[in-house]
Structure 1
Amino acid sequence: MEAHEYADLDATALAALVRDGQVSAEEVQKAATAALDAVNPQLNALVGERFVAPLEYAADGPFAGVPFAIKDLILHATGVAQTAGSRMLGAGVAMPADTHLMARFRRAGLATLGVTATPELGFNATTEPVATGPVRNPWDTTRSPGGSSGGSAALVAARALPVAHASDGGGSIRIPSAACGLVGLKPSQGRTSPGPDYADPLLGMGIEFVVTRTVRDCAGLLDAVHGAEPGDRYLLPDPGRPYLDEVGAGSRRLRVAVQTTPFSGSGAVDARCVEATEAAARALEGLGHAVDVAGPSLDADAFDAANLVAWTSFLADGVDGLAAALGVTPGPDVLEAATLACAEYGRGLRASDLYAADRVFNATRRAVAEFHEGYDVVLTPTMNVPNTPLGYLDQNDASRDARGWYDHIFSTAGFTALSNVTGNPAISLPLGRTEEGWPVGVQVMAPYGDESTLLALAADLERAMPWAGHRLPTS
């Protein structure tokens, strides 16, 4: 398989070639390793060396032999060392067993070739950890690929991988997808299993899935890995038909709300992000959907205060748990300044603070659910800006306290955290372009549990506003 052939194909196409015997899985993986070796020196998206051979996978899975990588956070594979983007874990800690989602990725046939970079403990909208250095956006290597799944997004955007693992606690699948021109679905809370290590990571806001280049890959992979495991807290109904069928069928006529002011944070919205959203709204109107300017009524100040409690308590628990397990003292020699500030703030919270945050989250979920009684989906920019310069979101900046760091992150991404709190599925699609040629993401959010509507509409937008021809200058 030639390099250009590999780069042109998504995961669905590669799997079909392997399944039909037109190429071998080994040929596909050889092309992937060559691509990874070619782009990673510039992008710095892998943690450590790529694997000499892929991790074991099911040869009869629907994506058998398709190259893949796992993010250096939350999910883990048996015997694979991971660092969570932090010097605190040194060269990495290898876990003794797969998480449930990792086991499902293996059963789907995905061939894991490496670990992708994340910011320290995932609390950033860029991927520039002190531990391993900045990951660069392949569209412009002076810019950030977003975070916290920036390593995965950079490699998929560079066409070194067709798909890679990602996770999302406040936008960390959708933000890098927007910055790198990818499809990024955050599924509903409970659609993929967080077990066995977690019941509700980040007070239920943390969700895992993948980043892809096409909607059909997103749908097919969700078909392959969704579902609860014994002991999971949530048991969502299965879709009425496979998600991949929704891609071909297209959407029913929908009521679409368009909002271009952020749900949270205090950052301004770049005109190019607004323009991309409005262009998508016009396309949907042209497809026969009913489109209105509207949005749910929320208390943004209360939302941000509650979200700060959720994030800092989670970071405090993570830092202190790792310190105790590893015999390490948290300090500036092993943790970045903003991580330390957030952990210290989180340690000072009381149980009543968590309950107060939960009350805000409850009110938010109910307000959004009530809004969805009148509208099937909400269309927004994914980010406030197309991307950020490297160094702008400096997690080692000692001048910011916990609230200052939170505000700095969400001044660039005020649209994504809402669906983490509500549990609703949301997807970022690369529907816009800047004068520099950078992609611009547009987000669609659907009601809780309704990935079917979301993926059908995403496929309609992919056909109406195709992005496949927008290629990197070196592609």
Structure 2
Amino acid sequence: MSTHVHAFTDDALGEEDAVGVAERIRTGEISSLEAVEAAIARVERVDPELNAVVVADFERARKSAVETRSGPLAGVPTIVKDNSDVAGLPTGHGSAAFTPHAPHDDGDFVRQFLAQGVVNLGKSRLPEFGFNASTEFADAPPTRNPWNTAYSPGASSGGSAALVASGALPLAHANDGGGSIRIPAAACGLVGLKPTRGRTLSEAFSAAAPVKIVSEGVVTRTVRDTAHFLAGAEKVYASPRLPRIGLVEGPSQRRLRVGMLTESVTGHPTDDATRWAVAAAASRLTSMGHDVVEMPMPVGQQFADDFAHYWGLLAAAISATGKRTLARDFDRAHTDNLTRGLAAAFRRNMLRTPGVVRRLRRSERTYAAIFADYDLVLSPTLAHTTPKLGHLSPAQPFEQLFDRLLRYVAFTPLNNATGGPAISLPMAMSEAGLPIGVQLSAGHGDERTLLEIAYEVEQEHGWARIQDV
């Protein structure tokens, strides 16, 4: 039986976003410990139904909350996705193929995140190695969508998104190697911005990849939380190759030329509800004075084939090196059907790899050329509405699952291969009462324009709130 789940109540967190909670702590209205205690109570209330937390670290969070903290989000409770290292907590990558160990040190991005003063409550769930677009497991209960627990919360940052959407936490860590910030943001009605490649620090699992497709960030309920996170992260580390963003605090007066796409490079159709959501978003942007025009497809089927091959390369690399990089007891026979199937598909075509890597790297220039004609690109985040749990289960045969993934995740990978920034905004609702995300993409380093337009849409139209349903 499906359930609508949220944790909003009259406690220290109230209905505030992360910036609001930080301000209440800063002024002494509440303490960091009170905020953390409220978050722990909320997580304990919803997690039996959502299954979003894989490692709870509540006692250490309580101790950390009473320490003197600094940073723009000082004292705000959060959680880190379980493919990033937090000192003293096991890193499991969502896999049953090895026994996770606890690292001695935080990962590079985790240090950048925690430097903003947030208090970590533990680790959030993800599907095995982040490969799936739903946080489901072959032989364990799935993570559920708080809007309707019969449905997927997306992935791979599905655990983080479920906790933020339910109101258990104001914001949470997420990362994106094929859409894994934007997909769960779309499924759970959140703001999800994938930064430009190099904007935030990388974790070890992605730093050495031949094409650096993963970007680190957060999922939030408000645009200002995402903006403050980016500004805070930039104070810790600012890429010398990218223009500074600074703190974006509202819309711009600049009117933009926006290219619109509704069909993907895979050839699979976009469903009617999603097409309607994009058309409605275009109408909203037009009503605000922006110029929205249909644009030609920037890449072809070759790109989709190349990205799928690269997906397989990553799975094959984990399978081949897991005993050395993860744990001595790593057993690839215990990986799920998706990981094994991706690795096998790669091995059958591994001679294609040099050309694939070369073309994916070259796609950065193709992407950059788009923004000679447009300020932004408007598209679906996903090709169809959020599926029910089971549709993307890794327990099903690989060929069926992979076909379903290609039909679902058809728009987000371009920004990972090219390194361009993109944001998913919850601009519509499906007939089933679940959010539909709409994606806006910008030129390299232009997160400012994405945040400005997101503020404008949020102020003009707002988002659906789970506590009002």
Using structure 1 for the length normalisation, give the TM-score.
0.91
**Deviation (angstroms), 1:97:** 1.1
8 Å Cα contact 1:251-1:453 kept in structure 2: no
Provide the C-alpha distance between the structure 1 equivalents of 2:173 and 2:357, rounded to a whole number of angstroms. 29
State the match for 1:372 in structure 2. Answer: 371
Indicate which of 187, 204, 228 corresponds to 2:212.
Answer: 204
| Alignment equivalent of 2:105, drawn from 97, 101, 122 | 97
Cα offset for 1:226? 3.4
Contact 2:211/2:361 (<8 A) preserved = no
Long gaps (5+) in structure 2: 1-7
Structure 1, unmatched stretches of 5+, are: none
**2:398 matched to which residue of 1?**
400
For 1:54-453, list aligned pairs within 5 A. 54=61, 56=64, 59-73=69-83, 75-90=84-99, 92-130=100-138, 132-196=140-204, 198-201=206-209, 203-226=211-234, 235-239=240-244, 242=246, 244-245=247-248, 247-263=249-265, 265-300=266-301, 302-324=302-324, 326-328=327-329, 330-332=331-333, 334-347=334-347, 350=350, 353-397=352-396, 399-401=397-399, 405-453=401-449
Letter in 1 for 2:346: G
The equivalent of 2:29 in structure 1 is 22
C-alpha separation in 2, matches of 1:330 and 1:89: 7
CA deviation profile, 1:189-241 (whole Å, cap 9, x unmatched): 000111455425472111111100000000000111137869xxx633342x5
1:4 and 2:40 are equivalent in the alignment: no
Aligned residue for 2:378, secondary structure, equals strand
Q: Whole-Å Cα distance in 1 between the matches of residues 202 and 298 of structure 2?
A: 30
Identity among equivalent positions (%) equals 36
CA distance in 2, matches of 1:309, 1:56: 43
User: Residue 293 of structure 1: CA displacement?
Assistant: 1.1
Q: Which residue of 2 aligns with 1:454?
A: 450
How many Å separate the matches in 2 of 1:451 and 1:459? 12
Displacement of 1:131 in angstroms is: 5.9
Amino acid at match of 2:241: L
C-alpha distance in structure 2 between counterparts of 1:345 and 1:437, whole Å: 37
- 1:321 aligned partner, one-letter code: T
How far residue 471 of structure 1 moved from its aligned partner, in angstroms, is 2.2
1:283 Cα deviation (Å)? 1.2
AA of the residue aligned to 1:367: T
The size of the alignment, in residue pairs, is 457
Deviations 1:232-263 (A, max 9, x none): xx633342x52x33x32425111101111013
Moved more, 161-170 or 265-274: 265-274
CA shift in 2, pair 1:145/1:195, >3 Å: closer
- Matches of 1:296 and 1:345, distance apart in 2: 27
Counterpart contact for 1:169–1:202, Cα < 8 Å:
no
Contact 2:195–2:447 under 8 Å retained in 1:
yes
Distance 1:193 1:214 in 2: 23
Whether contact under 8 Å (1:193, 1:228) holds in the other structure is no
| 1:177/1:183 contact within 8 Å kept | yes
3-state secondary structure, aligned to 1:52: helix
Which amino acid letter does the alignment assign opposite residue 448 of structure 1? H
> What is the RMSD computed on CA atoms of the aligned residues?
2.2
Alpha-carbon distance between aligned partners in 2 of 1:174 and 1:202, rounded to the nearest angstrom: 23
3-state SS of 1:114 partner: strand
Amino acid at match of 1:451: E
Please give the secondary structure, in 1, of the residue aligned with 2:466: coil
Deviations 1:402-456 (A, max 9, x none): xx64432121121111111111100000000122321110000000111011111
Change (3 A) 1:315 1:436: same
Q: Is the 8 A contact 1:51 1:113 kept in 2?
A: yes
In structure 2, the residue matched to 1:36 is 43
- 1:52 aligns with 59
For the residue of structure 2 that corresponds to 1:87, the secondary structure is: coil
Aligned-partner Cα distance in 1 for 2:178–2:253: 27
- Equivalent-residue separation in structure 2 for 1:68 and 1:44 (angstroms): 16
**SS at the partner of 1:84?**
coil
Aligned to 2:465: 470
